[in-house]
Amino acid sequence: MAKANLGRLLAQQAHKLKDLNKSALDVISPARTRFAPSPTGFMHLGSLRTCLYNYLLAKSTKGQFILRIEDTDRKRLVPKAENNILQTLKWAGLEIDEGPYYQSQRKHIYHEYVNKLLESGHAYRCFCSSDRLDKLTASAKKLKPDSSGSYDRKCSHLDSETSFKRALNEPFVIRFKLDSYPSFTDALHGNVHRELQTNMNDIRYDDFVIIKSDGMPTYHFANVVDDMLMCITHVIRGEEWIASTPKHIALYNAFNAKSPTFVHIPLLASEDGRKLSKRSNDEGVLSLSGEPNYYEPEAVVNFLALQGWSPTRSNKSGYSDSDVMLLKDLETKFSLHGLTKGLIKLDFNKLRYLNRAHFDILKQYNLDRVICQCHKAWPHSTLAECERMFTILSSRIHDVNDYIHYMNSIFAKPEYKNRFDEGSPSFNALKEISGQISSFKSVEDFVEYVRTTYGPKGQQYLRYAILDNRSGVPVLEAAKILGMDRVIERVKKAVEIIN
């Protein structure tokens, strides 16, 4: 009987936890989300996916999507990185509702709010030298058990007057006083709680720096102040930030402010399982649009949306199971309920499949863009010629690489290494064709004549003369693209070389 009651109790608790997690995933009112990249490298696929999820949550709830450039780490800024961020968002079609805001221009705001923490006793100035701090860090690691904090709070005991006077002449940082890690609820992972590990024989604290010695805020402080002032309701970011979130919650508590809903999504990894990182020089998003991939932005956005999320029927709306979705479809279908957990390895075969599907869609409603992309990738003809050649092969072209392949096959200079024997029936037929070709004004009439006169072998003769036996390109389409003059030239050249 006791076991049955215990089982019922556990089931009820599990049901409550499930309902709690579900409520965190429900977004009823318009969400205000933000993408806050640091311009310390070019945007890679992981960054764009984080941006995309924040964008989609805002749009799916008729809210606002904000761009904030976190550029306070001046030493690590990469030239052109900011422009790369803006160009990537534009290329992907993600329009911002507010911003961009620049943290480097908001220094006065951070100092206003750090003064509030100094006044309330939640923060203090620290005048310790780098050498002393390094020794504290090294000694903390040697403690058994070790400590999750390293600072001994030497400067926290200075009275406000002494601290202020020393600050006039000495370099200092400002630390946040953190006695314990507050727990929080993550919409995807549920309740998260970390213990502040302490060695009772040598007590240390994780009083993290919020204002650096150059007066600039640290990421932890600036991001909390900005999210608070910008009324951000949801923060979607990589799960590597879970460990830092208790510090952010502690800052919200110190300001008596409500924290946003946190959603920590699984990391993206390369096909070999390595985490994507701009510090590892992983391929930037914009480079994917050029050689050798020529991925369409619609395909990349569609692909990234499915890396950790899928449409779910648990929502009020009935969703299609199709993987091919435009941005407007994603804006309608996105919900936090579709998010998944666990490391995700990128499957570029899936991206190639989606790219071909979106290319076919583009051919229907934005043919001019498709032709311009093909012309840019294979610029050996005029734009008008590109349009004519693309139209001839349109049903066979499903991405830019298809176009390049066909053009290279058709326009490559024939070498005629695999020759017919002189005097053979095949050579004699080709010689007869060469003698008749000048009387035809159109390639259609000429190809039809060869087929009618020589039957199935006629196709073989023309493929040899026009395409040097290269397969994959229909003879008639190749002849149309080359034009009558080039066809005549190649047929006569083939006969001449055999002779």
SS3 track for the chain: CHHHHHHHHHHHHHHHHHHHHHHHHCCCCCCEEEECCCCCCCCCHHHHHHHHHHHHHHHHCCCEEEEEECCCCHHHCCCCHHHHHHHHHHHHCCCCCEEEEEHHHCHHHHHHHHHHHHHHCCEEEECCCHHHHHHHHHHHHHCCCCCCCCECCHHHHCCHHHHHHHHCCCCCEEEECCCCCCCEEECCCEEECCCCCCCCCCCCECCCEEECCCCCECHHHHHHHHHHHCCCCEEEEEHHHHHHHHHHHHHHHHCCCCCCEEEEECCEECCCCCECCHHHCCCCHHHHHCCCCCCCHHHHHHHHHCCCECCCCCCCCCCCCCCCCCHHHHHHHCCHHHECCCCEECCHHHHHHHHHHHHHHHHHHCHHHHHHHHHHHCCCCCHHHHHHHHHHHHHHCCCHHHHHHHHHHHHCCCCCCCCCCCCCHHHHHHHHHHHHHHHCCCHHHHHHHHHHHHCHHHHHHHHHHHHCCCCCCCHHHHHHHHCHHHHHHHHHHHHHHHC
What is the identity of the amino acid at 253?
N
Most confident of 170-184, 279-293, 316-330, 416-430: 170-184
pLDDT tens across 353-373, in order? 999 999 999 999 999 999 999
pLDDT tens across 173-187, in order? 999 999 999 999 999
The answer to whether position 150 is within a domain reads yes
Q: What angle do CA 427, 433, 434 make, to 5 degrees?
A: 90
Which of residues 19 and 297 earns the better pLDDT score? 297
Q: Which residues sit opposite 32 in a β-bridge?
A: 64
Query: Are residue 229 and residue 263 in the same domain, yes or no?
Result: yes
Residue 234 has pLDDT above 50, yes or no: yes
Q: How many domains does the chain have?
A: 3
Query: Are residue 440 and residue 497 in the same domain, yes or no?
Result: yes
As a residue count, the chain comes to 499
pLDDT grade for 111, boundaries at 50, 70 and 90: very high
Do 35 and 68 touch, CB atoms closer than 8 A?
Answer: yes
Domain holding 437: CATH number?
Answer: 1.10.10.350
- Domain end among 162, 187, 211: 211
What is the domain extent for residue 113? 108-211
Query: Are residue 172 and residue 188 in the same domain, yes or no?
Result: yes
- Domain end among 269, 291, 307: 269
**Is the peptide bond between 414 and the residue preceding it cis, with omega within 30 degrees of 0?**
no
Over residues 59-68, mean pLDDT: 97
The answer to whether position 349 is within a domain reads no
pLDDT grade for 29, boundaries at 50, 70 and 90: confident
The answer to whether position 487 is within a domain reads yes
Mean pLDDT for the chain overall: 89
- Domain end among 211, 233, 253: 211
Over residues 389-411, mean pLDDT: 96
Domain holding 137: CATH number?
Answer: 3.90.800.10
Residue 497 has pLDDT above 70, yes or no: yes
Question: What span, in angstroms and rounded, lies between the C-alpha atoms of 31 and 24?
Answer: 13
Place of tokens 């024939």: 414
Query: Are residue 202 and residue 63 in the same domain, yes or no?
Result: no
Do 66 and 99 touch, CB atoms closer than 8 A?
Answer: yes
Place of tokens 């229907």: 364
Question: What span, in angstroms and rounded, lies between the C-alpha atoms of 303 and 291?
Answer: 19
Query: Are residue 461 and residue 489 in the same domain, yes or no?
Result: yes
The answer to whether position 441 is within a domain reads yes
Query: Are residue 203 and residue 257 in the same domain, yes or no?
Result: no
Query: Are residue 115 and residue 49 in the same domain, yes or no?
Result: no
Query: Are residue 80 and residue 112 in the same domain, yes or no?
Result: no
The answer to whether position 445 is within a domain reads yes
The answer to whether position 58 is within a domain reads yes
Query: Are residue 155 and residue 201 in the same domain, yes or no?
Result: yes
Question: What span, in angstroms and rounded, lies between the C-alpha atoms of 466 and 476?
Answer: 10
pLDDT tens across 302-352, in order? 999 999 998 864 444 444 447 899 999 999 999 999 999 888 899 999 999
The answer to whether position 301 is within a domain reads no
The predicted structure's pLDDT at residue 278: 54
Place of tokens 């904090």: 149
What is the identity of the amino acid at 54?
N
Query: Are residue 224 and residue 207 in the same domain, yes or no?
Result: no
pTM of the model: 0.88
Query: Are residue 126 and residue 35 in the same domain, yes or no?
Result: no
Query: Are residue 115 and residue 89 in the same domain, yes or no?
Result: no
The answer to whether position 476 is within a domain reads yes
Domain holding 75: CATH number?
Answer: 3.40.50.620
Do 473 and 467 touch, CB atoms closer than 8 A?
Answer: yes
State the burial class of residue 349 (Cβ atoms within 10 Å of its Cβ: 0-12, 13-18, 19+): exposed
Q: What angle do CA 135, 141, 142 make, to 5 degrees?
A: 90
